[in-house]
A and B are shown apart, each in its own frame.
Chain A
Amino acid sequence: MSLTLLNVIVAVVIAIAFAAVNAAYLVWAERRGAARIQRRPGPNINGPFGLLQPPLDGIKLMTKQLMIPGGADKILFMVAPVLAMAPAIMSFVTIPFSEGIAAHNMELGVLVIFAFASMGAMAILFAGWGSRNKYSVMASVRAVSQNVSYEIPMLITAITVVMTTGSMDLKEISMAQSGGFWHWNIFPSLQSPLMPISFIIFFICSLAETNRAPFDLGEAESELVAGFHTEYGSMGFGLFFMGEYANIVIGASLTTILFLGGWDCPFGMFPGVWWFLLKIYLLIATFIWIRWTFPRTTIYGLLNLSWKILIPISLFNLLLTAGLLKVF
């Protein structure tokens, strides 16, 4: 694929538009979903089913004044929201939505996405440090320790999948799973019988990576005001939110590609981008469902889960897969 300037611009515009629309309407879906679980109707005044709520929220955020607290590190303070948003959008470039729909297919797609995802932690640290607010600093330190400890099992499970597929190319990984749901990586195979557990570990880690409840210690409202974005108003806050929701979409897409066969149909019919979208939105619905079911964990519970349960099991799984790949 030749990478002309026009290609780049079109890809970037589509990625930004996709991320922005998703961010806006996932907030709506989140609010409606939360409301339904709590037996409320949710936003339903603006437009049919409250569908005009996200654009109106956007207008409200954009018209608000951008405040920089006194004593804040101005450069870090301004850079942080952009740094939260930009890697999320960059990650969209490598994601293949279907066989023909991919902005730029890279041989090291898995690695690229993880590299960009790890920049999210830096944005949180900048935001917390730059706002010169003790709650923000505490929250960002928590969020970073959480991100670091959950990246390990996530990477180990990703390596397991890469080992069984023999490629780091996201497109090849999903192509290798085509032809019915029994070919998907989530189903145990001879080479790696613990794949469903890998899937669960990966899913938990992608929940934790996006700093969402029950792992939202970075923005624990009851303890730390609003966490690392306490001092952010207007579109700075908006960018953090867009970044968070874009990361959710990335996490769901990555889970779909690595474990659920990408754009492959479960019954081997009509493979296409719709199956991919259906799968990621089902995963996102599960994200929302989980968020509104469980209370927030403690920081100890969170780190114990990662270091005592997820990392040992994923390491064991990696070793088992490596051994079985040699045997079969």
Chain B
Amino acid sequence: MGGYFSDIFYGSKSLLIGMGITFREFFKPTVTVQYPYQTLKMSARFRGHIELIADKEGKPKCVVCGMCERACPSGCITLGSISIEIEVDGKIKKKKVLSKYDLDFTKCSLCGQCVENCNFGALEFSKEYNLASTRKEDFHFNLLKRLEERNT
């Protein structure tokens, strides 16, 4: 019989403790981010898709060495280059310039090998995460064009 009443007593007590906890939570501020209206700032180590880094003139820092293309385990990077002739100290020199940097993001596994392998610091992870589309063509990024868009 003693167990009966102590069960009721301790049961009710624990229920009241539970209600006390929810009562306190009720008056605390909300922690939800109202997503489409508010967005979180991505942390520095967030890995989005890759993006070209521009030099001071707004041109890509890339020298078209092709290390990223070779390092990519998924083969989702395609580089293209053209040779242009520039004058350095009165002599005419040939130089390779990036003409195409296509990223097929549908295959990318975000391993980051391309960024690791870049010896010229020409690649970075973007902080873009709002990537949703109904067409897979939307995930074939032309990074050169994206760089120009960022510059303007």
Contact = CB atoms under 8 A, between A and B. Distances in A.
Contacts of B31: 39-40
Nearest to A42: B30
Q: How large is the interface on A (under 10, 10 to 19, 20 to 34, 35 or more residues)?
A: 10 to 19
Interface string A14-47: 0000000000000000000101111111001000
A36 B26 contact: yes
Interface in B1-58: 8, 15, 18-19, 21-23, 25-32, 34
Q: How large is the interface on B (under 10, 10 to 19, 20 to 34, 35 or more residues)?
A: 10 to 19
Contact of A37 (B26, B29, B34): B26
B22 to A, nearest CB: 4
B8 to A, nearest CB: 6
Contacts of A294: 15, 18
Contacts of A37: 22, 25-26
A293 B22 contact: yes
A40 B32 contact: yes
A293 B15 CA distance: 9
Given A41-B34, A309-B8, A292 B22 contact: yes
Interface of B: 8, 15, 18-19, 21-23, 25-32, 34
30 contacts: A33-B26, A35-B30, A36-B25, A36-B26, A36-B27, A36-B30, A37-B22, A37-B25, A39-B25, A39-B28, A39-B29, A39-B30, A39-B31, A39-B32, A40-B30, A40-B31, A40-B32, A41-B30, A41-B34, A44-B34, A289-B23, A289-B26, A290-B19, A292-B22, A293-B18, A293-B19, A293-B21, A294-B15, A294-B18, A309-B8
